[in-house]
Structure formats: structure tokens, C-alpha cells
Chains A and B, each alone.
Chain A
Amino acid sequence: MVHQLPSWAGLAPALALAATALVLLLVDSVDPDTTNTSLLGGVSVVGSLASLAFAVWFIFGGTGIPTSEGGVGTPVLFNGQLVVDQMALFFMIIVASVTALVTLASTDYVENHAYQAEFYALVLLAATGMSVLSAANSLATAFVALELVSLPSYALVAFLKKNRGSVEAGLKYFLIGAVSSAVFAYGISLVYAATGVLRFDGVATAIESGTVQTVVDGTVQAQAGSPAVPMSVLGVGIMMVIGGVAFKIAAVPFQFWAPEAYEGAPAPISAFLSSASKAAGFVLAFRTFAVAFPIESLVSSGEALNWFVVFQVLAIATMFVGNFAAATQEKVKRMMAYSSVGHAGYILIGLAALSATGDGMALSMSAGMAHLLVYGFMNTGAFLFIALAEYWGVGRRFEDYNGLGRQAPLACAAMTVFLFSLAGLPIGGGFFSKFYLFSATLDVGAWSLAAALVINSALSLFYYSRVVKAMWIEEPTGDRSIESYPTGLYTAIVSAAVVTVLLIPGFDYVSSLAFRAVELL
């Protein structure tokens, strides 16, 4: 099976996405003015499904599990710059699924726009970046992959060129993104200066041994007479890396771009950014902080940063800011944007629910990963429903959704599933993943996190149910006519809803996969 293939084949999920992007660009160069949406969209959907198939095949085929435990070993590329372990594959599944849903929905959404080939190519390129980021095992590859995610995203947010909101959002996103990339790069340079290595395991070795390391022929080792790691420089470096990550996942205090970007962007792109891009940011965070900056050594050294305390503050602040802001919104898309910030807070529990000795990491991180996967479907679905509403020309405010349930019962039923699942009612997998996070917080006695989670969950039901109320309970206002029921959008929304519901009986697979992935780290 996989072990007979060369190790670069382990990157097949990412390569499939990259190849699809190149095919799209090829089509574009052959016929620059093509608006054949079924061809372009079809290629994109097939490419992302291929990526998904590879990732699913690998993860169940035992890639990333040591041969001693019955797996087929972990493909390691470029002297350990990239590793395709279970965690990488887990996130590749999330990215590929969201990409498939988003490109499928886009076939209707961008039907009458120019530059369609570029649109799909950019989506696929960003997805490639996310997929590579899942496997990045060094700060250098992580940075390159992160930029590959970011640059297409800026262009995609501003894709609706004639829409001022879209252009403004793109510019804002770009400016804040550029600053945070710079902060991230500077943080990387400080970590490199302090430890002498960029590879995550090498950084960890340096921190654990306290001496600067060098990489010789692909192995990390200390040279004779190498100096001690300057903990203060390292601490500043870690802080800046946190900043870079916080931007990508839209956590407080770097959340300002998110509502603008998600609201201004075409709705499928909002879905893409708030689900897949967020997952990519989190895989970077999980990997960096679980592997490169081992909390036990940092704490025992006594001088450097207790990063889990930083994440506790960030998690609680992000939950409250996101949910309270969401509760006061008048526009559905903006509400969903803030709710997405709130969910970043929930997932941050994955890094925050640790004790000072790093206990509970497997539990809390796998809980965060499980929530990301469930979130990938329910949040994408909710944004795609908004895309459907935009396609129909329904307004943006809650009132504009009044009575939609009578005209489009199937889509509204799916949206109801997404919203209740996001709120944590047991109608979708969101209930279990939230419970999993909750039990992770209680497992280490992080009462403040548990309380924040419960309070915010209760609050979130209030604003999510406003949409439900508008769709089903309110009388329709004005005359709105829905002329067509776009197949692509409908298929995407309904499949996301089906997966969300199926994640109730199937949650065992997700949680055990995530748990094993973290254990193997």
C-alpha cells in the first residue's frame, strides 16, 4: 500500500489540490474568456474530492502510525520539513471537504461573473496552502504555506470587484494580514535566533536541553560549546508567533478583520475562510505549541512564557467578544461572522485547557480538532445558506429572511440543523464536540473555561434562534419570488446537513481519530 509508494506520495491530498489549480489555470490560458461554470466548477469539485479520497484512504490505511503499531509509518519529506502524520491527514480531510462543498456551491454563485477560472484556481491554491500547512513541521514551511493560504484569500474576498463592501473588506483583510504576517515572520526569526533551528522537533530539543541546536544532515544535535537558549528572546518570539496564529484563526485581539471580511466577501468565500482557513490556522497552532514549545520545559525553566495561560485569556476573551457581538447584530451574515469568532474561542480551549504540567493535552486538543471537523460542516453549510439567500436576492437582515421556510422548506430545514447544531443542541454533531470540549476543561479543573463555554452556549442559542424564528415563524413581508432552485448550492447545503446529522451517531469515529492523532504527536 502506501509504504510501497515514494514518500512524496504522502502529500497526495495536497498535490491533488495543486494539480487541480494548475489544470484550471491551463483551461484559462487556452480559453481566457470561458464562463463554462460546469466545466470549471466540475474540475474543482472533482479535484477536491480526489484530495478528500486520498486523505481518507491514508488515514484509515494507517499512514502516520508507526509500523510497530500496525501502521505503515509516517512519510517524512525534505529532511523533516513536512510530515504526513495522522494529524496532518485529519486536517487535510477538513480542508478537502470544505473545499468540495464551497466549489460545488460556487458553480451557482459565480455563474454570471467574469474571471471564473481565476476564482476556482485561487480557491484551490489557498486549499493547497492549507493542506500543506497541515503537514508543515517547521516554521519555514509553515510560513510559506501560510502565505499561500493568505494571498489568494485576499484576492477572493475582494472578488466582487463592483461591490464596494467586497473591495473594502479585501483591502482591510490584506492590510491586517500583511501586518500579522510580518509579526509572525519576526517571531519566527526570534525563535530561530534563540534556538538555532526551525524544525518543530528541533526547537523542542533546544528548549528541553537548554542549548542552541544545529541541524546536521537532517538530524538535530548540539555542537560543542554551543550557547544556552536565551529564554527572554524565545519568550518574545513565542508571543509573536501566537500573534500570527491569532490573526489566522480570528481570535481576540486580532479579530477585527473577520466580521468585515466575512461580510464583504462572496458568501462561499466566507464559508471557506471561516471553516477551512480557520482549521488551517489551528493546525499550525496545535502543531507549534504541542510539538515545538513543550510547556513542561518552558514552565520548569521558570523564565519563559507560560503560553497556555495566554491561550486561556485569549479563549475566554474570544468566546465573550464573539458571542456578545453576534447577539447584537442586525445582519445575518455579520452575526455568523461574529459567531465564527466565538467558535474560535471554543476551539482555543484545545490549547487552553492544560494544566501547568501539560496534562490533558491529548484530551483537550483532540476535542478542539473534533469541534473543528464538525464546525467545518455546520458552519460551511450555514454560510452556504447565506450564499443561497444572496443568490435569490433576499436581503441581509434578519427580517429579510421572514417566512423563507414556506418558499424553500428543504434549505431552511438544513439551515435549522446547522444553527441548532452550532448552538449545541443535539440535532447535529456540534452537541458532542461541545460536550467533548466541556469535559476537557473539567478534566483539568479549568472552571473559568467551563463556565465561559456554558454561558456562551446559552447566549448563542438566542441569536441563532432569531434566524430560525425569522425563517419559520414570522410572516413573509413584501413580495419576494424565488424563481429557481440552484442545484449546486442545494446539493452542497443538503450534503453538509446530512453529514452534520450523521456526525451524531458517527461521532465516535471522529473523536477516536482525533485522539489517536494527538497521541501520536
Chain B
Amino acid sequence: MWVAALLAVTLLGSAAVMLSPDRYAGKLAAAISAVPALASVYMYYVFLTQNGGAGNALLSPGEVAFGQQIPWIDLAGYQISYYVGLDGVSMPLLALTTILTTLAIVSAWTPIDERQSQFYGLMLFMETSLVGVFAALDFFLWFVFWEGVLIPMYFLIGVWGGPRRKYAAIKFFIYTNVASLIMFAGLFALVFNTDLTSLALPAMAEAFRNASGLPTIAGFSLATISFVLMFFGFAVKVPVFPLHTWLPDAHVEAPTPVSVMLAGVLLKMGTYALLRFNFTMLAETAQALAIPLAIVGVVSVIYGAMLALAQRDLKRIVAYSSISSMGYVILGLVAFTPHGMGGATFQMVAHGLISGLMFMTVGVIYNTTHTRMVGDMSGLADRMPWTVGIFVAAAFGYMGLPLMAGFAGEFLIFQGAFDAATLGSAAPVLTSAAMFGIVVVAGYLLWAMQRTLFGGFSLETDYEVGPAAFHDVAPLAVLLLLVIVLGVAPDLSYDMIQHAITPLTGGGA
């Protein structure tokens, strides 16, 4: 019921906001989105205190929290139902989604100055879809939400974006839709070759994990082919090198609040789906393909970081560094160790908070200075002390400063990947190579900060450059607080993540 309530509030709220006058839309949307945010915090609290032992939603569906199942359609011999539920992986991501949406909506008050009611309505509609993606336990329901995210995103980039927004929006739209179709084809090739009667994700997981006698096509088992097709489909969303080219365009053109959602939550859809589908349902194949996948992850880490190093646009720097950070997640997942996969999941949440924070900070600076180019401004620290302070803290979080969430995620991934049995003797080499990415991150962030934030103030502009408004800085402070809380007490999330992950890695239920 709780999940249904979240979906209903955001969906109805979206309609209400669309019909409201532009002047009040932002405030109304923030108020409405606070409801699911507070509700998910409460759900998180309940989960933490009462359901701490819940297992993996796909492997032991009886133990999910907030579960609900209603039969929906019987299509072509397959039972499809409205089936939702949360486990230790989806609960933190759900909370991340609802909190980040509220903060992103507040951060949009300043930059969004036209067609507000449509903008905020679409933001809430996107929240509905995102909540659905993380909570759905039926494939069809999940796919409806998964594709449902595309539609608001397309408009949010296309209508309110920067100069090349039309190109970026259509590129994002077509790229990810084609990827979805490829994933869909790969998955259904498997579905039709097993005796499934239900498209519930737990049923699929059981059928695929125990599938035997799958046909072989051109020397490859169908499981391998499907795995590759599905990996391809999800990797576009993550994104993984070389499928990342839509991301810089989308990020740079999207308005800041949308970038926040894109980096903070949408990229996590890809890694979440990888974890649920590829690494849970086809775990054996994933282990067999661990080394090539780890190489893809490590290349993304290094390549993304190198690309970030070459940028002058602050937003582009953060965008490319997201590719780098998501590479760590891939590395952690293929390790198939409790800390590797758990760390990867933790990193999804941590990166969601930190990259959201970074984008928001860059947005606040842009709102004031109207430029994002590193060379164009310097010495902002004098004029916007609070914003700059948070920027510095966020950047150190990104670099993996201990007691910040990013450190915990990356440390756990490295620890898990270092002695990963799936990677064999390549594990230390690949992990060390990935660690090198951290050095590069420190390089470009320190460089960018030094050029823009410190030194004497200079900026060729007619605008008054002063401290940002309270409602611009407050979301930043909230996010920074969350980053620090998770860094100091990672067990707040890591415990429940471990409960959901250990059944996957073979380490007891």
C-alpha cells in the first residue's frame, strides 16, 4: 500500500501541478513532492528497525517489505500483475529518488522561468516512474515505468534545455529507446525458452537461474547471447564506454535540476537493472564473463576521468566524471563478493547524492555568474561563501575523502574487487588500474576549484555577483548533510544492502 500511495500521490500531484498557474507551480510541486520524500524516510525507518533481515527481493520474495500483488493481465499465457516490494537494494534507491526529486524541485525555483507548471508537473511524473522502476517486482510493470521515465525526460531536456537542447533530447530519446528494445529482445528470447507462466521478477530469476538445455546459436549459449543483449541495453543507461555519447550532450543541455535527476537517479536505473537482471538472474553467465565486463568497467573509469580532465565546462566535468564513477559500480558488481556488490550498490546511492550535489552547486554558480567555463571566472569564494564552501566539500566527497559517502562506496568496491574469485589473477591488476581513476578525479577537481573559486575575483559581467538565495543553498546543505551522515555511518544503508546482496554471492541467506 505504501508504494501504491507514493505512486498515486506523485501521479495525481503531477496532474494537479500541470493545471495550476505558473506562479504557484514550483511551491505546489515542492509541497507535493515533500509527501513522498517524508513517507519514504518513514518507510526507511520502518525498514531499518523492523525488516532489517529482509533478504533479496528476487530470490526470497516472501521477505520483501511493503509488498503488494494484484493480478492485472493474462497475456499470451503469461501472468502479469501489479507487484511491488522493497528489499535492501531498492529501499535506499527509492529514498534517494524521492529526496532528490524534492531538492531538485526546490533548486529549480530560480533557473526555471517559463512554462513552470509543465516543468514541475513533468518532474513529478518522472518521480512516479522512478519510484515504480525501483519498486516494481513484475517485469511488465517495471518496463512500463522504465520506458515511462523517457517521456518526461525527453520534454524536460527538449523544452527547458540549453542551445542544443533539441539535438540532445532526441539523441537521448532514440538512443535509450533502441537500447530498451535490444534489452527487451534479449530478455524475451530467454523467457520463451523457459517454462515461465508469470512475468514476476522472482519467477523469472528462479527460471533463469535453473534454466537448462537452452538452445545454442552460432556456438554461444542463449544465456550468453541474452546476457550480452541485456547488458548492452542497460549499459547505455549507465552509461558505459563506448555507449556514453548521449550523456554529455544530455547533461550539458539539460537544465540543472534535470541534470541532478539524470546523474543522481537515472544513471542508477542502469546499474540497478544490471544488478537485478544480469547479475541476479544470469549470475553464472555474469561470473563467466567477469573479466571482459571488469575491463569495460575499468576503461569507463579511466576514460571518463580522462575526458573530464580535458573539459573547461564545469557541467561537462561533472558529467564525464559520472561515467568514471559508474565504472566503479560495474567493477564492484562483477566481483561477486559481498563487499564488491554491496559496495557497488552503496556507491549507487553515494554517487546519486554527491553527483546531484555537484550538479546543483554548479547550477547555483551558473545562476549567479551565467557562465560555467573554468577560465571565465575566478575568486568566487569571496562573493558566494556558502555555495563555494559546499562546492569544496562536495568535491572532496567526490575525490573520496574519508567520512564522506563516496569514500565508503569506493573503498568497499576496491576491497571487494581485490580478492574477487571471478576475476582470478587479474583482480589486483584491474582494481589497481581503477584506483588510478581516483588520482585523476582529484586532479581535475582540484584544478577546476582552484581556477574558479580562489584567487582574486574576476568575471566579465554586468550582473551583480553576490550570495545565492536561501532556497538555492538549502538543498545543497541538505544533500551535503546526507553525504556526511552516510559517510560517518555507512551501516545505515550498508547493513540492509548486505542482507539483500549476500544471498547473491553465495554467502548464506
Contact = CB atoms under 8 A, between A and B. Distances in A.
Interface of A: 363, 367, 406, 420, 425-427, 431-432, 435-436, 438-440, 442-443, 450, 454, 457-458, 461-462, 465, 468-469, 472-474, 504-505, 507-508, 511-512
Contacts of B166: 469, 473-474
B74 A512 contact: yes
A88 B199 CA distance: 32
Nearest to A423: B177
Contacts of A363: 76-77
Most chain B CB atoms below 10 A, which of A406, A426, A440, A472: A426
A439 B188 contact: yes
Contacts of A462: 174
A436 B76 contact: yes
Contacts of B159: 472-473
B181 A457 contact: yes
A508 B78 CA distance: 11
A167 B421 CA distance: 75
B75 interface: yes
B173 A436 contact: no
A505 B177 CA distance: 22
B150 interface: yes
B407 interface: no
Interface in B402-416: none
A511 B159 CA distance: 37
Interface string B146-179: 0110110011001100000110011001100110
Contact of B75 (A454, A457, A511): A511
A412 to B, nearest CB: 11
B75 A436 contact: yes
Contacts of B470: none
A494 to B, nearest CB: 14
A129 B74 CA distance: 33
Nearest to B182: A454
Contact size class for B?
Answer: 20 to 34
A426 B174 contact: no
A472 B73 contact: no
Given A458-B177, A461-B173, A439 B74 contact: no
Contacts of A440: 76
Given A443-B192, A461-B173, A507 B150 contact: no
B72 interface: yes
Nearest to A455: B181
B144 interface: yes
B232 to A, nearest CB: 14
B489 interface: no
Nearest to B173: A465
Contacts, number: 80
Interface string B75-110: 111100000000000000000000000000000000
A319 to B, nearest CB: 14
Nearest to B193: A442
B185 A454 contact: yes
B151 A420 contact: yes
Nearest to B185: A454
The winner among A363, A367, A439 for most chain B CB atoms within 10 A is A439
B4 to A, nearest CB: 13
A46 B297 CA distance: 63
A465 B170 contact: yes
Given A454-B181, A457-B181, A462-B174, A439 B76 contact: yes
B189 interface: yes
19 contacts: A425-B147, A425-B148, A425-B150, A426-B144, A431-B147, A439-B75, A439-B78, A440-B76, A442-B188, A443-B192, A450-B185, A468-B154, A504-B144, A507-B73, A508-B72, A508-B75, A511-B73, A511-B74, A511-B75
B207 to A, nearest CB: 16
A431 B74 CA distance: 15
A504 B166 CA distance: 29
Nearest to B72: A508
A469 B173 CA distance: 11
B151 A427 contact: yes
B158 A461 contact: no
Nearest to B78: A439
Given A431-B147, A469-B158, A472-B155, 18 more contacts: A425-B147, A425-B148, A425-B150, A425-B151, A426-B143, A427-B148, A431-B144, A436-B75, A442-B189, A442-B192, A450-B185, A454-B184, A461-B173, A465-B174, A469-B169, A508-B73, A508-B74, A511-B75
Which 3 A-B pairs give the minimum distances between C-beta atoms? A426-B144, A508-B73, A473-B158
Nearest to A413: B18
B76 A443 contact: yes
Contacts of A426: 143-144, 147-148
A483 B449 CA distance: 55
Contacts of A427: 148, 151
Nearest to A473: B158
A462 B147 CA distance: 15
Contacts of A425: 147-148, 150-151, 177
Contacts of B150: 425
A465 B188 contact: no
Contacts of A436: 75-76
Interface in B171-223: 173-174, 177-178, 181, 184-185, 188-189, 192
Interface string B122-164: 0000000000000000000001100110110011001100000
B436 to A, nearest CB: 38
A431 B159 CA distance: 25
Contacts of B184: 454
Interface string B59-70: 000000000000
Given A457-B181, A461-B173, A465-B170, A367 B76 contact: yes
